[in-house]
Amino acid sequence: MPNSTAHNYPTPAMATRKTLGEAVTCTATGVQSGRQLTLALHPASAGTGLQLTRTDIGKQWPISPQTAFAAGPGTAVGNSQDHVLFMEHLLAALAAAGITDLIIEISGPEIPLFEGGAVKLWEMIQSATIKSLDREIAPIVLSQPVIISSIDYSLYAVPDETPAYYYLFSSEHPLIGYQWASFVPATDDFGQELAPARTFIAIEEAEAARQAGMLKGGSTKNAIVIYPDRLSETPALPQAFARHKLLDLMGDLYLLGRPIQAHIIGSRSGHQQNHQLVQRLAEISQHQANPALR
């Protein structure tokens, strides 16, 4: 392993910045608020980055590690008072499409979960077409592994020229058990292999959330419910629960707005750990951008 004080970063493989070819919108019910929400994705010029606007309150934030935080079951962008929840599925779809510059508008406090995965979001992006911009973006590269771990979870970013994601999921539920999933952006099909992996929730958690006034729009249409003796439906994909955790992981890491030239490996980790890794990678990115810090 390289010396912990060394910063011998490999030469990054530059990527072309991308946006959408045209604006696209859709309307759906928010799972937590129960409100009808309109989501709009607008093309942006090179260098804009990913920008988020809540049109109902007129607040705007750049999507970044500084504006994002883990909020219960998902990732939020904004602040503790005004924010947008459930950003992770949309960010995962944008990461898979290589979208670096986009204006995202939402008319309320959450991105709709739709079916509980990223199918609808992926279809929106594909229907608008993807436009290459006349600028490049450098990925984050590592000189040594970055590790977030405890006795309960682990999350690794390991240097590698080919970005890839891996996740190990384990559950004591007899219908779930141990599951393993992987995704290589350069070769795997996001629309077929990750987007259909739906979110899931134990019935006890769902009932507690309802009693707390949450999940006003939640149902088995946007999540798989786990009962003690059954699932609300058979998942559409093998290793579906591990795949969904991988979907969340990809989305959270795209808070950085750049590809990561590494293998990302998670086990029993969630949004909190994903955000810890994001902060560590953001520090590395800052060092790469500013040679004086090396």
> How many beta carbons lie within 10 A of that of residue 143, not counting itself?
17
Residue 83 backbone class (left: φ over 0; alpha: ψ -120 to 50; beta: rest): beta
Whole-angstrom CA distances from 236 to 53, 64, 255 are 33, 32, 28
Distance from C-alpha of 260 to C-alpha of 141, rounded to nearest angstrom: 6
Taking a C-beta distance cutoff of 8 angstroms, is the pair 128, 25 a contact? no
- Of 223, 254, 250, give the one whose Cα is nearest residue 117: 223
Distance from C-alpha of 174 to C-alpha of 171, rounded to nearest angstrom: 8
Residue indicated by tokens 């219960």? 72
The answer to whether 173 is a known catalytic residue is no
Taking a C-beta distance cutoff of 8 angstroms, is the pair 165, 269 a contact? no
Residue 14, both tokens: 């530059």
Distance from C-alpha of 176 to C-alpha of 242, rounded to nearest angstrom: 10
Residue 111, both tokens: 């991105």
Which residues, 6 or more positions from 208, have their beta carbon under 8 angstroms from its beta carbon? none
Catalytic residue among 173, 271, 275, 287: 271
Which active-site residues does the annotation give? 271
